[in-house]
Amino acid sequence: MVHGTRHAALQICSSTLIFLKLSSFVSDLPAESTVKNYCQKLCDVKKQYKVAELISPGLEAVGIFTNFIVTQHIQEALLSHANIRGGRCQSFLRLMKQGVMFFADGYERAKMFDSSFVSFLRNNNPCLGKIEYFLRWSNCNCRKRCLCLPARHLCRIRLYERIPTTAVLPSYVSKVRATNNYVVIPVSSLTNLCFYVEVKEIVQEAEIVHTYAMEPVNDLEKE
Protein backbone atom coordinates (compact mmCIF):
# COMPACT_ATOMS: atom_id res chain seq x y z
CA MET A 1 0.00 0.00 0.00
CA VAL A 2 2.88 2.38 0.81
CA HIS A 3 6.24 2.12 -0.98
CA GLY A 4 8.10 5.04 0.58
CA THR A 5 7.84 8.06 2.88
CA ARG A 6 7.35 10.61 0.09
CA HIS A 7 3.69 11.73 -0.04
CA ALA A 8 2.73 8.86 2.26
CA ALA A 9 -0.78 10.19 2.91
CA LEU A 10 -1.50 10.43 -0.82
CA GLN A 11 -0.18 6.89 -1.37
CA ILE A 12 -2.49 5.53 1.34
CA CYS A 13 -5.52 7.36 -0.05
CA SER A 14 -4.81 6.24 -3.63
CA SER A 15 -4.22 2.62 -2.64
CA THR A 16 -7.35 2.55 -0.49
CA LEU A 17 -9.42 3.97 -3.36
CA ILE A 18 -8.11 1.27 -5.71
CA PHE A 19 -8.90 -1.41 -3.13
CA LEU A 20 -12.46 -0.13 -2.62
CA LYS A 21 -13.10 0.07 -6.36
CA LEU A 22 -11.32 -3.16 -7.28
CA SER A 23 -14.55 -5.09 -7.92
CA SER A 24 -15.85 -2.40 -10.30
CA PHE A 25 -12.50 -2.32 -12.11
CA VAL A 26 -12.71 -6.09 -12.61
CA SER A 27 -16.32 -5.95 -13.83
CA ASP A 28 -15.34 -3.33 -16.45
CA LEU A 29 -12.74 -5.63 -18.03
CA PRO A 30 -13.67 -7.29 -21.38
CA ALA A 31 -15.94 -10.29 -20.89
CA GLU A 32 -14.28 -13.73 -20.91
CA SER A 33 -10.83 -12.17 -21.14
CA THR A 34 -7.90 -13.98 -19.55
CA VAL A 35 -7.17 -11.01 -17.29
CA LYS A 36 -10.78 -10.78 -16.09
CA ASN A 37 -10.98 -14.51 -15.37
CA TYR A 38 -7.71 -14.34 -13.44
CA CYS A 39 -8.87 -11.33 -11.37
CA GLN A 40 -12.22 -12.97 -10.62
CA LYS A 41 -10.47 -16.07 -9.31
CA LEU A 42 -8.30 -13.91 -7.05
CA CYS A 43 -11.32 -11.99 -5.74
CA ASP A 44 -13.53 -15.04 -5.25
CA VAL A 45 -11.10 -17.28 -3.38
CA LYS A 46 -12.93 -19.03 -0.55
CA LYS A 47 -11.79 -21.79 1.74
CA GLN A 48 -13.53 -25.01 0.82
CA TYR A 49 -15.44 -26.88 3.47
CA LYS A 50 -17.74 -29.87 3.48
CA VAL A 51 -21.38 -29.09 4.17
CA ALA A 52 -22.99 -31.91 6.12
CA GLU A 53 -26.45 -30.36 6.02
CA LEU A 54 -28.11 -27.11 5.02
CA ILE A 55 -30.08 -26.23 8.14
CA SER A 56 -31.62 -23.04 6.75
CA PRO A 57 -30.51 -20.26 4.37
CA GLY A 58 -27.15 -18.99 5.67
CA LEU A 59 -26.88 -21.74 8.29
CA GLU A 60 -24.91 -24.94 7.60
CA ALA A 61 -23.64 -27.90 9.61
CA VAL A 62 -20.02 -28.44 8.49
CA GLY A 63 -17.91 -31.61 8.51
CA ILE A 64 -19.47 -34.96 9.33
CA PHE A 65 -22.05 -36.19 11.80
CA THR A 66 -20.83 -38.74 14.33
CA ASN A 67 -22.72 -40.96 16.73
CA PHE A 68 -23.26 -39.30 20.09
CA ILE A 69 -23.77 -41.27 23.30
CA VAL A 70 -26.49 -39.57 25.32
CA THR A 71 -25.77 -39.98 29.01
CA GLN A 72 -28.34 -39.51 31.74
CA HIS A 73 -26.91 -36.06 32.43
CA ILE A 74 -27.28 -35.04 28.77
CA GLN A 75 -30.81 -36.48 28.66
CA GLU A 76 -31.79 -34.30 31.58
CA ALA A 77 -30.23 -31.24 29.95
CA LEU A 78 -32.03 -31.86 26.64
CA LEU A 79 -35.34 -32.32 28.42
CA SER A 80 -34.85 -29.29 30.67
CA HIS A 81 -33.49 -26.82 28.10
CA ALA A 82 -34.94 -28.04 24.79
CA ASN A 83 -37.93 -30.19 25.81
CA ILE A 84 -36.41 -33.17 23.95
CA ARG A 85 -37.12 -36.72 24.98
CA GLY A 86 -35.95 -39.85 23.17
CA GLY A 87 -34.93 -39.83 19.52
CA ARG A 88 -31.36 -39.90 18.29
CA CYS A 89 -28.44 -37.48 18.61
CA GLN A 90 -25.44 -37.00 16.33
CA SER A 91 -22.65 -34.53 17.01
CA PHE A 92 -20.69 -32.20 14.75
CA LEU A 93 -17.93 -29.70 15.45
CA ARG A 94 -18.38 -26.81 13.03
CA LEU A 95 -21.21 -24.51 12.07
CA MET A 96 -21.23 -21.88 9.32
CA LYS A 97 -23.62 -19.02 10.06
CA GLN A 98 -23.91 -16.07 7.69
CA GLY A 99 -20.37 -16.62 6.42
CA VAL A 100 -18.82 -16.98 9.90
CA MET A 101 -17.42 -20.34 11.07
CA PHE A 102 -18.21 -21.36 14.65
CA PHE A 103 -16.09 -24.16 16.16
CA ALA A 104 -16.82 -26.47 19.05
CA ASP A 105 -14.12 -26.40 21.71
CA GLY A 106 -13.12 -29.97 20.89
CA TYR A 107 -12.21 -29.20 17.27
CA GLU A 108 -8.42 -29.18 16.91
CA ARG A 109 -7.52 -29.83 13.26
CA ALA A 110 -6.26 -26.81 11.30
CA LYS A 111 -7.63 -24.37 13.87
CA MET A 112 -5.42 -21.28 14.01
CA PHE A 113 -7.45 -19.44 16.63
CA ASP A 114 -10.18 -19.97 19.22
CA SER A 115 -13.57 -19.64 17.53
CA SER A 116 -15.66 -21.31 20.19
CA PHE A 117 -16.25 -18.34 22.51
CA VAL A 118 -19.58 -16.76 21.59
CA SER A 119 -22.34 -14.42 22.53
CA PHE A 120 -25.89 -15.73 22.33
CA LEU A 121 -29.44 -15.06 23.38
CA ARG A 122 -31.11 -17.02 26.15
CA ASN A 123 -34.68 -16.02 26.96
CA ASN A 124 -33.92 -12.83 24.99
CA ASN A 125 -31.04 -12.02 27.36
CA PRO A 126 -27.47 -11.62 26.01
CA CYS A 127 -25.05 -14.21 27.41
CA LEU A 128 -21.44 -15.29 26.93
CA GLY A 129 -20.05 -18.80 26.79
CA LYS A 130 -17.89 -21.43 25.10
CA ILE A 131 -19.34 -24.02 22.73
CA GLU A 132 -18.64 -27.60 23.85
CA TYR A 133 -20.25 -29.36 20.90
CA PHE A 134 -23.06 -29.17 18.36
CA LEU A 135 -25.90 -31.70 18.25
CA ARG A 136 -28.32 -32.83 15.58
CA TRP A 137 -31.43 -34.40 17.10
CA SER A 138 -33.92 -36.38 15.03
CA ASN A 139 -36.95 -38.39 16.03
CA CYS A 140 -35.63 -41.69 14.65
CA ASN A 141 -33.79 -44.82 15.74
CA CYS A 142 -31.22 -45.09 12.92
CA ARG A 143 -27.86 -46.59 13.85
CA LYS A 144 -25.87 -45.15 10.97
CA ARG A 145 -25.42 -41.54 9.91
CA CYS A 146 -28.70 -40.16 8.74
CA LEU A 147 -30.48 -36.95 7.77
CA CYS A 148 -33.89 -38.01 8.99
CA LEU A 149 -36.46 -35.27 9.46
CA PRO A 150 -37.79 -33.52 11.41
CA ALA A 151 -34.55 -32.50 13.08
CA ARG A 152 -33.30 -29.89 15.53
CA HIS A 153 -29.79 -28.45 15.66
CA LEU A 154 -28.48 -27.46 19.06
CA CYS A 155 -25.27 -26.60 20.87
CA ARG A 156 -24.16 -27.16 24.44
CA ILE A 157 -22.45 -24.13 25.93
CA ARG A 158 -20.52 -23.57 29.12
CA LEU A 159 -21.67 -20.28 30.61
CA TYR A 160 -19.24 -17.50 31.49
CA GLU A 161 -20.26 -14.72 33.82
CA ARG A 162 -19.30 -11.07 33.67
CA ILE A 163 -17.52 -9.94 36.81
CA PRO A 164 -16.95 -6.41 38.10
CA THR A 165 -13.53 -4.80 37.74
CA THR A 166 -11.94 -1.54 38.81
CA ALA A 167 -10.24 -1.23 35.40
CA VAL A 168 -11.73 1.20 32.90
CA LEU A 169 -12.85 -0.93 29.95
CA PRO A 170 -14.68 -0.11 26.71
CA SER A 171 -18.34 -1.08 26.66
CA TYR A 172 -17.68 -4.05 24.38
CA VAL A 173 -15.03 -5.59 26.71
CA SER A 174 -16.06 -7.66 29.73
CA LYS A 175 -13.99 -9.35 32.39
CA VAL A 176 -15.32 -12.90 32.64
CA ARG A 177 -14.86 -16.20 34.40
CA ALA A 178 -16.08 -19.69 33.68
CA THR A 179 -18.96 -21.15 35.66
CA ASN A 180 -20.01 -24.75 36.21
CA ASN A 181 -23.33 -24.12 34.50
CA TYR A 182 -24.20 -25.38 31.01
CA VAL A 183 -27.09 -24.69 28.66
CA VAL A 184 -28.42 -26.28 25.49
CA ILE A 185 -29.70 -23.78 22.93
CA PRO A 186 -30.74 -23.78 19.25
CA VAL A 187 -27.85 -22.84 16.94
CA SER A 188 -30.05 -20.02 15.62
CA SER A 189 -29.64 -18.31 19.01
CA LEU A 190 -25.90 -17.76 18.43
CA THR A 191 -25.28 -14.09 17.70
CA ASN A 192 -21.53 -13.48 17.38
CA LEU A 193 -18.06 -14.89 17.76
CA CYS A 194 -16.16 -13.12 20.53
CA PHE A 195 -12.48 -12.55 21.15
CA TYR A 196 -11.36 -14.39 24.27
CA VAL A 197 -8.15 -13.11 25.85
CA GLU A 198 -6.14 -14.29 28.84
CA VAL A 199 -3.93 -11.72 30.55
CA LYS A 200 -1.31 -12.98 33.01
CA GLU A 201 -0.18 -10.89 35.96
CA ILE A 202 2.58 -11.61 38.48
CA VAL A 203 1.63 -10.58 42.01
CA GLN A 204 4.11 -11.37 44.78
CA GLU A 205 5.69 -14.08 42.60
CA ALA A 206 2.29 -15.70 42.02
CA GLU A 207 0.78 -15.82 38.55
CA ILE A 208 -2.80 -14.58 38.24
CA VAL A 209 -4.74 -15.04 35.00
CA HIS A 210 -7.42 -12.52 34.08
CA THR A 211 -9.83 -13.44 31.29
CA TYR A 212 -11.68 -11.02 29.04
CA ALA A 213 -14.29 -11.32 26.31
CA MET A 214 -14.58 -8.75 23.54
CA GLU A 215 -17.71 -8.60 21.45
CA PRO A 216 -17.46 -7.40 17.83
CA VAL A 217 -18.38 -3.77 17.23
CA ASN A 218 -17.79 -3.52 13.46
CA ASP A 219 -21.04 -4.28 11.63
CA LEU A 220 -19.95 -2.68 8.35
CA GLU A 221 -19.55 -6.05 6.59
CA LYS A 222 -23.09 -7.05 7.58
CA GLU A 223 -24.74 -4.01 5.98
13 and 84: one domain? no
Amino acid (1-letter code) at residue 141? N
Share of the chain above pLDDT 70, in %: 88
38 and 97: one domain? no
Number of domains in the chain: 2
DSSP strand pairing (51-56 vs 88-92): unpaired
39 and 138: one domain? no
Query: What average pLDDT does the segment 132-141 reach?
Result: 94
In sequence order, which residues have a C-beta less than 8 Å from that of residue 133 and are 6 or more positions away? Answer: 68, 91, 92, 93, 104, 105, 106, 155, 156
61 and 137: one domain? yes
Statement: residue 196 has pLDDT above 60: yes
Question: Looking at per-residue confidence, does 161 or 47 come out higher?
Answer: 161
190 and 214: one domain? yes
Statement: residue 49 has pLDDT above 50: yes
Would you say residue 12 lies in a domain? yes
CATH number of 156's domain:
2.30.30
Range of the domain at 176: 51-218
For 170, other C-beta atoms within 10 Å of its C-beta total 9
What is the pLDDT of the chain when averaged over all its residues?
A: 85
What single DSSP character describes residue 180?
E
37 and 56: one domain? no
Would you say residue 223 lies in a domain? no
Amino acid (1-letter code) at residue 68? F
Sheet strands (E) in 2-83: 51-56, 59-62, 66-67
67 and 149: one domain? yes
117 and 34: one domain? no
Statement: residue 112 has pLDDT above 70: no
69 and 175: one domain? yes
At 38 the pLDDT is 83
Would you say residue 1 lies in a domain? no
Measured CA to CA, the distance from residue 179 to residue 24 in angstroms comes to: 50
Would you say residue 194 lies in a domain? yes
Give the phi and the psi of residue 86 in degrees, each rounded to 5.
75, -155
Measured CA to CA, the distance from residue 139 to residue 82 in angstroms comes to: 14
Would you say residue 2 lies in a domain? no
134 and 169: one domain? yes
24 and 70: one domain? no
Place 65 in a pLDDT band, splitting at 50, 70 and 90: very high
Statement: residue 46 has pLDDT above 80: no
Place 114 in a pLDDT band, splitting at 50, 70 and 90: low
| pTM of the entire predicted model | 0.73
Burial class (CB in 10 A: 0-12, 13-18, 19+), 36: middle
Question: Which of 13-22, 28-37, 159-168, 170-179 has the least mean pLDDT?
Answer: 13-22
24 and 55: one domain? no
Would you say residue 84 lies in a domain? yes
At 44 the pLDDT is 65
150-167 pLDDT per residue, tens: 999 999 999 999 999 887
Would you say residue 3 lies in a domain? no
